[in-house]
Amino acid sequence: MRPILEARDLTKTYRTGEGEVEALRGVSLTVEPGEFVALMGPSGSGKTTLLQLLGGLDRPSSGEVVLDGIPVSSLDDDRATRLRREKTGFVFQAFNLVPLLSARENVALPFLLAGADPASGEFRDRVDDALRLVDLAAKAERRPSQLAFGEQQRVAIARAIAGRPAILFADEPTGNLDYSTGLEILQYLYRSCAERGQTIVLVTHDAQAGAFADRVLFLRDGRVLEEIGIGRRVEHPARPLIERLALLGE
């Protein structure tokens, strides 16, 4: 099967006032359709940078990202934007929602941006479907400010999956949540993967979250240090992963 996402020799160098920061120093990876992959690593190891390159939010200094057969890194801004709109979904750590729009409108945002009428049949069904998946159909008309933080993150997940993207990227989606709410969010992500075959790339520094993945890529200093296969399970115990990570000095 053709991988849904492929990265070859990615490097990223940031220029700052004091000099250059090599955030990524040659990362290659592949993600198969339906896979749930976690990117882990200490703070500053380049997780967010890598995710942004994979999702077409930024361009690598060298190397290539191929998403669903399309070379992302060489696209112009408009095409990259459309690619994101059509083939990706994003969930960030915080501020995932446009405060002026209701939960439903936030979920429908990709359709609205595509020039579709989100209130019309097919799109409406997709939005409702996504809201149901995160159990928020009842609060669809609320503004983000009227939702709990965990609920806001669920709306973000609904938006990310509503467009049936080829791949969903999440960067520390539980970073601002308490333990049990965080688990809930991970359950929802897992559910979309298990029930609908949604491909997911999750960035986290939390082993409990990483344990939900089929496979963990461990980064340090801008390189993939280790690949840890976990496999699909109904339960997601964190201990085996923590033990593996301990061996890496974490």
Partner 1 sequence: MHAPARLGLRILRRRPLRSALTIAGIAIGVALVFAALSVDAAAQSGARGYAAQLDGRSDLVVRAFGEGTLSPQSLSAISSTTGVLGTSPQVRRTTFAWSVAPGGIVATRSLGALTVVGVDPEADRAFHDESVVAGAALTAADDGGVVLAEPWASAHGLAVGSRISLMGGGGERTLAVRGVLAASGPALADGGRLAYVTITTARALFALPTGAVDVVEVRVDPAVGVAAVETRLETRLSSEPYLLSTTADDAAALSGASRDIGSGLLLVAAVVLFVGALLVSDALAMSVAERSREVALLRSAGATRGQVHAMVVVEALGMAVAGTAAGIVLGAVMATALVPLVASISDAPVSGAPLDPGALVVAVLLGVLVPVVAALGPAWRAGRVAPVEALRGSALRPRPNGGIGRSAVEGAAASVTGTTVLILGAALTGASSPSGAAPIAGGPAATFLAAVVVALAVLLLVLIAGLVAPAVLRVAGAVVGLAALPLRRSLGAEMRLARGSLAHDPARISVAFAALAVGLGLVVALAGIADGMRRAGEAWIADVAPADYAVVAISPVPDSFGADLAAVSGVSTVTPLRLFDVAIAGRRASAVAVDPGAYARLGALTVVDGSRDAAFAALQAGGAALVPRSVADRFGLRVGDSLGLRTASGEESLRVAAVVAHGVPGAAGESVVVSQSDASRLGISGVSMFLVVAKPGASSALSAALSDVADRYALSVVRPSSIGGAVTGALDRTFGLLDALAVAAVIIAVLSMLDVLLMDVRQRVGELGLLRAVGLTRAQAWRAVVLEAAIVGLAGSVAACVLGVLGATAVLGLGTTAGIQLAVPWAPVGLALLIGLVGAVLVSVYPARLAARVDIARALRAE
Ligand X SMILES: Nc1ncnc2c1ncn2[C@@H]1O[C@H](COP(=O)(O)OP(=O)(O)OP(=O)(O)O)[C@@H](O)[C@H]1O
Residue numbers at the binding site for ligand X (CB under 6 A): 14, 16, 21, 23, 41, 43-49, 205
Binding to Mg ion by residue 48, rule CB under 5 A? yes
Closer residue to ligand X in complex, CB, 46/150: 46
Q: Rounded distance, CA 111 to CA 212, Å? A: 29
Binding to partner 1 by residue 41, rule CB under 8 A? no
- The single residue among 36, 90, 123, 188 that binds partner 1, judged by CB under 8 A, is 90
DSSP string across the chain: ---SEEEEEEEEEEE-SS-EEEEEEEEEEEE-TT-EEEEE-STTSSHHHHHHHHTTSS--SEEEEEETTEEGGGS-HHHHHHHHHHHEEEE-SS--S-TTS-HHHHHHHHHHHTT--TTSHHHHHHHHHHHHHTT-GGGTT--GGGS-HHHHHHHHHHHHHHT--SEEEEESTTTTS-HHHHHHHHHHHHHHHHHH---EEEE-S-HHHHTTSSEEEEEETTEEEEEEE----SS--SHHHHHHHHHTT-
Closer residue to ligand X in complex, CB, 41/165: 41
# residues contacting Mg ion (CB under 5 A): 1
In whole angstroms, the minimum distance from the beta carbon of 58 to partner 1 comes to 4
Report yes or no: 123 and 108 within 8 Å, Cβ to Cβ: yes
Binder of residue 45, out of partner 1, ligand X, Mg ion, none (CB less than 5 to 8 A by kind): ligand X
Binder of residue 100, out of Mg ion, partner 1, ligand X, none (CB less than 5 to 8 A by kind): partner 1
- The single residue among 109, 185, 193, 216 that binds partner 1, judged by CB under 8 A, is 109
Binder of residue 96, out of ligand X, partner 1, Mg ion, none (CB less than 5 to 8 A by kind): partner 1
In whole angstroms, the minimum distance from the beta carbon of 97 to partner 1 comes to 8
How many other CB atoms sit within 10 Å of the CB of residue 41? 26
Report yes or no: 36 and 23 within 8 Å, Cβ to Cβ: no
In whole angstroms, the minimum distance from the beta carbon of 159 to partner 1 comes to 7
Residues 49-88 binding partner 1 (CB under 8 A) are 52, 55, 57-58, 77-78, 81-82, 84-86
Binding to partner 1 by residue 148, rule CB under 8 A? no
- Residue 237: φ, ψ to 5°: -70, 140
In whole angstroms, the minimum distance from the beta carbon of 208 to partner 1 comes to 23
Binding piece for Mg ion, criterion CB under 5 A, among 40-48, 75-83, 135-143, 185-193:
40-48
Positions that interact with partner 1 (CB under 8 A): 48, 52, 55, 57-58, 77-78, 81-82, 84-86, 89-90, 92-101, 105, 109-110, 112-115, 117, 159
Positions that interact with Mg ion (CB under 5 A): 48
